[in-house]
Copies of this chain bind each other. A is one copy, B any other.
C-alpha cells in the first residue's frame, strides 16, 4: 500500500527536487522521468523506478496501477502525492500524473556492440539538452545502435534532455567518452566515420554508407575541430539553399540519419 506525501518539506521530496541539479544527480546516480506513457514504455523495456510519485489513487488508470505494482514488486517505492509536488519535482506546469526516479543508465563505450546496428550517432560537445534529447529520439526512430557523446556534452540525464527524448533515454544505448578513447575504440573494429561539415564539396546524397556507419555531428556553434574532421573517413555536406549557413544540430543529424537509412535499405 503506497504511503502518501503531501508536504513540500518532506526530506525525500527535497532530495528528489535536487535531482534537477546536475551535481546532485551525479552524487545520487539518479534521474527523473515523467509521464505515464513514457514510464510504461520504460517498464516494458525492463526499467523500473526506485521511487514512483503519482497523483490520484492509482486505481483509475490500469497502466498506472500496473506501474505501481511493478515498482513495488521490484523493491521500489510508490508514493502518492499532490499535483503541486509533482509539478515541483519536474519543474513543469503540467507534469502529467506520474514522475519516476531511476538509476542512471550505464554509459560506458565498452558496453556497445557495433555489430548490433548499421547506423550509430556520435555528437561532440553538444550543449543544448533539447538537442540531445531530440537526437536520442531520432536515434530510436532510425534504429541506431546508440548515441555516443564525445567530450564536454550537456548531461543526458537532465530533466530537459530526458523530456525531449520522449522515452528514448530508456531505449537507446548511450555512451560518454573522450575523443581519443572514441577513436581508439572505433578503429579497433569495422566502422566508417562520416562527419557533417560545411567545409566539403561532398553532397550528403552522394556516398554509400556501409554498415556500420558512425555519423558525427559537431558542436552547435562551432562545428567540429579540424583534427576531428581530419580523422573522418568522409565529410559530407547538407546543401543550404537560403541565407543561413547551417541547420539546427538535431535537425542536421536527423536529415543525415534518414539518408543513411534510406541508402542502406536500397543496397
Contacts and interface: CB of A to CB of B under 8 A. Distances in A.
Contact of A247 (B137, B167, B172, B239): B137
B244 A141 contact: yes
Contacts of A45: 243
Contacts of A243: 41, 45, 140, 167-168, 171
Contact of A167 (B41, B137, B172, B244): B244
Interface stretch (A5-13, A151-159, A225-233, A249-257): A249-257
Contacts of A188: none
Contacts of A41: 243
A228 to B, nearest CB: 23
Interface in A149-183: 164, 166-168, 171-172
A166 B252 CA distance: 14
Contacts of A79: none
A258 interface: yes
Interface of A: 41, 45, 130, 134, 137-143, 164, 166-168, 171-172, 205, 238-244, 246-248, 250-251, 254-255, 258-259, 261-262
Contacts of A259: 258
Given A248-B164, A258-B255, A172 B242 contact: yes
Nearest to A133: B248
A143 B243 CA distance: 9
Contacts of A137: 244, 247-248, 251
B254 A166 contact: no
A250 B134 CA distance: 10
**4 tightest A-B CB contacts, nearest first:** A143-B241, A140-B242, A251-B254, A140-B244
B134 A244 contact: no
Contact of A250 (B172, B238, B244, B251): B251
Nearest to A139: B242
A237 to B, nearest CB: 12
27 contacts: A41-B243, A45-B243, A134-B251, A137-B244, A137-B247, A138-B248, A138-B251, A139-B242, A140-B244, A141-B240, A141-B242, A142-B241, A166-B244, A166-B246, A166-B248, A167-B243, A167-B244, A168-B243, A171-B242, A172-B242, A238-B258, A239-B261, A241-B261, A250-B250, A250-B251, A254-B255, A258-B259
